[in-house]
Structure 1
Amino acid sequence: MTTRPTIMPGFAAANLPLGRDPASVRRRLVAMEQLLEGLFVIPGINRRVGLDVVLGMIPVAGDAVAAALGGWLVWEARNLGMSKASLLRMTGRVGFDALLGLIPFVGDAADIYYRSNTKNLKRILRHLDKHHPATVTINN
């Protein structure tokens, strides 16, 4: 009996908390960013990519789905009470990424090098660290 290898160890729907508390939101957002930006490594350039790149290869519809998933990060940030200026900046990143995705080949390269979801997650984590210090996690 062989076991099926997992692309992302520890990533399962059962592991994602459904609560509205900041710690649950933090874990959900980190998991979503990992799904969108870091599922596997591209050999040769040694760069982590995720579902954002895969979806970007599907003309128009893929970029729309990727933008919607990026928009979900912004929606969660709104629910955390982030400022309108931060939300606007985050929405601009998602929109810029989506617009770049409409350009063939340029959009695919942009998905690899311009990581709007990672930048947005960093902004959200800074907010959580400042306003909800109990949610801070230490990465080894």
Structure 2
Amino acid sequence: MEPHPNAQISRLHARDEQALQRVRVVGKLLDNAVPIPGTSYRVGIDPLLGLLPGGGDAVGFVLSAYIVLEALRFRLPKETIIRMGTNLLMDSVVGSVPILGDIFDVTWKANARNLALLEAHLANPRPQRAADRWFVVAVVIAILLLGLGIITVVVLLVRLLQGLLGA
């Protein structure tokens, strides 16, 4: 394993380093896994998941939410958590619009943005005030409610389609 270019990040405890590696792997898989030949642009599986009817967006949300939830262990400041949550919300809501949402997912790359926010926090040597416990609990509850909402919408749409198709 290569050493981190930033000494602050390399001073993480082993457990936190493993968490950071997991977040990097999931973020890359979702947003930057495959290079587009002839360009410097990369895409991940997030927009492809959105193409799967009846649950692809829900799976993408769960994986994206994992990044935010795992990042909470690093005692992020409120502002960073809010930005990460906003990225997740934008990705989930706009990304769920058929076709246009998938195009949005290709360009927005919420998971890469959230990984960059986490790494910027870890690389910043100045002390920052971490979000209080109740704020973090509220964020976790909001993410769970958003996920429940997405899953509910998916279930309702599948039932509607089944009714329309007479299945």
Report the TM-score when normalising by structure 1: 0.71
Q: Deviations over 1:36-91 (max 9, x none)?
A: 11221234665311110210111351111111111111111111111222112211
Q: Deviations over 1:14-43 (max 9, x none)?
A: xxxxx8633222211111111111221234
**% of aligned pairs identical?**
31
Q: What are structure 2's unaligned runs of at least 5 residues?
A: 1-12, 126-167
**1:86 pairs with 80, 90, 99, which one?**
80
The number of residues matched between the two structures is 113
What is the distance in 1 between the residues matched to 2:45 and 2:14? Answer: 25
Does residue 68 of structure 1 match 2:58?
A: no
What is the distance in 2 between the residues matched to 1:89 and 1:102? Answer: 20
Does residue 106 of structure 1 match 2:106?
A: no
Does the C-alpha gap of structure 1 residues 72 and 79 become closer, same or farther in structure 2, counting only changes over 3 Å?
same
Q: Which is bigger in relative contact order (C-alpha 8 A, separation at least 6)?
A: 2
Contact 2:96 2:102 in 1 (8 A): no
Aligned Cα root-mean-square deviation (Å) = 2.0
What is the distance in 2 between the residues matched to 1:44 and 1:63? Answer: 29
Report the TM-score when normalising by structure 2: 0.61
Q: Deviations over 1:86-112 (max 9, x none)?
A: 112211111111111221211110111
Does the C-alpha gap of structure 1 residues 44 and 28 become closer, same or farther in structure 2, counting only changes over 3 Å?
same
Q: Tell me the secondary structure at the aligned position of residue 21 of structure 1.
A: helix
Q: What are structure 1's unaligned runs of at least 5 residues?
A: 1-18, 132-140
Structure with the higher fraction of residues in helix conformation? 2
Letter in 2 for 1:126: A
Contact 1:37 1:49 in 2 (8 A): yes
What is the distance in 2 between the residues matched to 1:96 and 1:130? Answer: 26
What is the distance in 2 between the residues matched to 1:67 and 1:88? Answer: 17
* Structure exhibiting the larger radius of gyration computed from Cα positions: 2
